[in-house]
Amino acid sequence: MTTAITVAPARLGEFTVIDVRTPGEYAGGHVPGAHNIPLDRLDQAAGALRTAAARGPLLVVCASGARSEKGCDRLAALGVEAVSLDGGTGAWAAAGHPVEHSAGSRTPWPMDRQVRLTAGSLVLAGFVAGLARPPAHRLSGLIGAGLLFSAVTDTCGMAALLGRLPFNRRVAGAVSFQETLARLAA
């Protein structure tokens, strides 16, 4: 089971902070000093994270705390101890704590907004197409079933797919994944 903690800015230096959101989300605002290792790349970063954890505790963050808890569980399976920031960067910022933005980078919409746009567009397309060809209404039903499954399982396949799109993977001016690994292993 993942431990979620609240950290005051004065104690932040005690941790190596790992942000598991997409590079685009990270660039839009992150806990000061956080390193960006997207959730789907934790396995690739295991060696560097093990080295960082040997120096001191890891604090894993995301937007709300859901992905960071999954990240902590994944790291535990890899033999790396970590704790999750309770409420993620959203709670951090809401408490009035500082948030860093990647300099000169253009950031995409937050992932939850991208999911709402994509799901809503597909539901509308299914409805409109269904007016001409009734079987097309199935698209709306499939998206609804996917959203229901997402809510019940606390996973989101659509977010996983959207996170792989180029505008979510690479942010101009951002530190590369390989450079982040080198910094963690140093």
Among the listed residues 49, 51, 54, the one whose alpha carbon sits nearest the alpha carbon of residue 74: 49
3-state secondary structure of 2: coil
Catalytic residue chosen out of the listed positions 58, 62, 72, 162: 62
Burial of 162: CB neighbours in 10 Å, binned 0-12, 13-18, 19+: buried
Distance separating alpha carbons of residues 71 and 18, to the nearest angstrom:
9
Kind of pairing between the strands at 35-36 and 58-61: unpaired
Give yes or no: 72 in active site. Answer: no
3-state helix, strand, coil in the chain (%, to 5): 55, 10, 35
User: Active-site residue numbers?
Assistant: 62
